[in-house]
A and B are shown apart, each in its own frame.
Chain A
Amino acid sequence: MLNYTIRRLLFAIPTLVFISLVIFLLLQLAPGDPMAQVPLTVPAEVKQKMREALGLGQPIHIQYWKWLVQFFWVEPLHLFDYFFSTGYSDGMQRVISWQTRSPVMDIVAQRMPQTLWVVGMSYVLGIMIALPLGIISAYKQYSVFDQVGTFISMVGFSVPTFFTGVLLIVIFSVKLHWFPSIYDTTHVVNDWDSFVFQLKQMLMPVSVLALYNAAQIGRFMRASMLDNLNQDYVRTARAKGLSEKVVVLVHVLRNSMIPVVTVIALGVPQVFGGAIITEQVFKVNGLGQLLITAIQANDLPMVQTLTFIFAILIVLFNLIADVLYGVLDPRIRYD
């Protein structure tokens, strides 16, 4: 298993390098100029100097190499310095945003908590809804509960998050005035009232994403339970005289969870991607919103870094899913 994990980790490196190259080359085609907003009174040669200071105008392979060094060496080193107050990265050039002229990673670190709170919470909530839903639906196949549950998960799976989000805003913010329609990221929780306000403002974005996640995972859970419920070992367990509860919740559930756990792991990076839309709907000041504003403002270093972070998440969670699959299911041997 360890052998397999190490091999997969090594294989992840060329994958990531290739993806970084794709992203980098794609963005090289961008027509935008970071000097577009500099006043016209600035002479052309000064502008040229400013461009060179940003690392533009050099050959493509050198720019690519410098970006790789910045991303994989300077930024981690800076993080190390930050935690252990050392000075290894002093004087090294970090990835600079063209919009704010500050290091990209600092902005990402500022935005990360919002995304993690809203998106992470919704994923956990979605899983907590999906698992019991899938188990009961499969156990009582074709019952009313199953029909309703399947219909709701079909709806959650089909209705795009930008429509559910907008619909919730129209109903609960505009008509009923129960919840705020805009997520206030500057809000500080320090007493009961502010905590209640935080809950209120998180409720709508979290439930929109949770419905979507619950729908997807619930379908998998149901299908996986159905596959296992008709297996011979279930009949054996019943024939041994085990109680129905033990049969379903211990024997069947544990086997059904194997594919579901990997689906859950694979879904984590997708949640970040899907959160782009939800963050836009509720004006949550998170990573997805950062990406959209960076794209609109032609801030290439920011777009490049964020897209690459998403790619790393996908590769990482693919790896986790595969390893988990091997750990959970002893029938699967990778070697």
Chain B
Amino acid sequence: MTDIAPQLEQEARSQWWDVWDQFKSHKGAMMGGGFLIFITAAVLLGPYVWTLDPQKLDIRAKDIRPIYTFLWENGAKVSWGHPLGTDNLGRDTMAKLMAGGQVSMAVGWTAMLLSIFLGTAIGVVAGYFKRFDGLLMRLTDLFLALPLLPLLLVIMLLFRDALRQAVGPEGGIFILVVIGIGITSWMQTARIVRGDVLALKEREFILAAKSIGTSSGKMITRHLLPNVLSPIMVSATLGLANAIITESALSFLGLGFPSDFPTWGKLLFDATDRMELYPERVIWPGLCISLTVLSVNYIGDGLRDALDPRIRGR
């Protein structure tokens, strides 16, 4: 009689706690999560702490090396005012990294959300409504057969100037990059979601919901979407990593963001001309991109394990 109460308390636990417990046991994912929080906080809150203007030119303080260069090069031009050094126009590298990171992360998240939204919508519609299935899946196949990077480059070339004039230099290129990445990366999500929806449709609870007269809209939002959430979350992490890499690749090829509105990829590209003398200007943005993508991929790995009930039980 007395030991029933604690048992009941234990049962009041949603499955998300189990997911979290499994996720916690994945060391790489925890470290990845920690780093992602750190870098997001650094680019968002950093500018309030490190108040130097990333665009401010200071010709007298140009070409300052990072502070650690002092360790092996005695006469190096270093300054505590610019711990990571400055570029050839005297702009502070740390401030530029924070500003660039904001843009890179914003592009990554927005493009990922767009691609997940498109993929989920197309996948659910194709899986749920039989008459759209053939058409939408042929469309997906066609998109998968397109050479995406060359086409993205071409899209950048064609619409860059038009959009810059219409929306302004910063907004225009942002919209273009986000839409470009979004519409070229939804296909895998759509395929996975469609497959899962097709399998779910055969289950009894869907039949039960149908037999009490649930409408299609309610059916999708109430019964199907919550059940395909796991694969969507995993492909969201892959999508975020992919979006950050694609954006920086575009900027690196000179067809992304302009130099006066740089992202990590653009900072890296601008620095390659003088990397013999100032390798740190290449290495810091590169490290930011690589570590962010690495941590996102680790989170994806951890999530995949945590959301898989077969693994979670062990």
Would you call B275 and A291 a contact (CB within 8 A)?
Answer: no
In the complex, how many angstroms separate the beta carbon of A182 from the nearest chain B beta carbon? 12
Closest-CB distance, B143 to chain A (whole angstroms) = 10
Q: Which residues of A contact B147 (CB under 8 A)?
A: 269, 273, 307, 310-311, 313-314
Measured between beta carbons, the chain A residues less than 8 angstroms from B289 are 160, 163
Whether A264 sits at the interface, judged by CB under 8 Å, is no
What chain A residues lie within 8 Å of B283 (beta carbons)? 167, 170
Does residue A174 face the partner (Cβ distance < 8 Å to B)? yes
The DSSP consensus for interface residues of chain B is helix
Question: Interface size bucket, B side?
Answer: 35 or more
Cβ-defined contact, A292 with B297, below 8 A:
no
Residue contact A158 to B293, C-beta cutoff 8 Å: yes
List the one stretch of A16-24, A81-89, A136-144 in contact with chain B. A16-24
The contact of B279 among A174, A280, A291, A310, by CB within 8 Å, is A174
The answer on a CB contact under 8 Å between A155 and B294 is yes
Chain B residues within 8 Å of A303, by CB: 150, 154
Quick check: is A201 within 8 A (CB to CB) of the other chain? no
B19 at interface, CB cutoff 8 A? no
Taken residue by residue from 275 to 318, chain A's Cβ proximity to chain B (1 for < 8 Å, 0 otherwise) reads as 01100110000000001100110100001001100110111001
Instruction: Verify A276–B150 contact, CB threshold 8 A.
Output: yes
Q: Which residues 287-305 in B have Cβ within 8 Å of A in the complex?
A: 289-290, 293-294, 296-298, 301
A-chain residues with CB within 8 Å of residue B272 when the two chains form the complex = 166, 281
- State which of B159, B249, B282, B298 has its C-beta within 8 Å of the C-beta of A160: B249
Fill in one digit per residue for B143-163: 1 if any A CB lies within 8 Å of its CB, else 0: 011111111011101110110
In the complex, which residues of chain A have a beta carbon less than 8 angstroms from the beta carbon of B269? 162
Residues of A within 8 A of B296 (CB): 158
Known: A19-B145, A310-B147, A311-B146. A276 touches B154 (CB 8 A): no
> Interface 1/0s, chain A 152-193, versus B by CB < 8 A?
001101111011001101100010000000000000000000
Q: Is B142 an interface residue (CB 8 A)?
A: yes
Q: In the bound complex, do residue A276 and residue B151 qualify as a contact, i.e. CB atoms below 8 Å apart?
A: no
B252 sits at the interface (CB 8 A): yes
Contact A295 B293 (CB under 8 A): no
Name which residue of chain B comes closest to A307, CB basis.
Answer: B150
- Name the distance in Å between B71's Cβ and chain A's nearest Cβ: 16
For the complex, give the distance between the alpha carbons of A169 and B142 in Å: 38
> A31 and B279 in contact (CB under 8 A), knowing A162-B252, A166-B268?
no
Q: Given known contacts A19-B145, A280-B253, A307-B147, is B154 in contact with A158 (CB within 8 Å)?
A: no
In the complex, which residues 235-279 of chain A have their Cβ closer than 8 Å to any Cβ of chain B?
Answer: 269, 273-274, 276-277
Listed residue (B154, B289, B290, B297) with the most chain A CB atoms within 10 angstroms of its CB: B154
Decide if B47 is an interface residue (CB 8 Å cutoff).
Answer: no
> Could you list some 17 contacts between A and B, CB below 8 A?
A23-B151, A23-B154, A154-B297, A158-B293, A160-B290, A160-B293, A170-B279, A170-B282, A274-B149, A276-B253, A281-B272, A292-B253, A307-B150, A307-B151, A307-B154, A311-B145, A311-B147
- Additional pairs, 19, CB under 8 Å, beyond known A167-B282, A170-B282, A276-B149: A31-B158, A154-B301, A155-B290, A158-B294, A158-B297, A159-B293, A160-B289, A160-B293, A162-B249, A162-B268, A162-B269, A167-B283, A174-B276, A276-B253, A291-B150, A295-B157, A296-B254, A307-B150, A314-B147
Question: What residues make up the interface of A, taking CB atoms closer than 8 Å to B?
Answer: 15, 18-19, 22-23, 26-27, 29-31, 151, 154-155, 157-160, 162-163, 166-167, 169-170, 174, 269, 273-274, 276-277, 280-281, 291-292, 295-296, 298, 303, 306-307, 310-311, 313-315, 318
**Top 6 closest pairs, chain A to chain B, by CB:** A310-B147, A163-B286, A158-B294, A159-B290, A158-B293, A170-B279
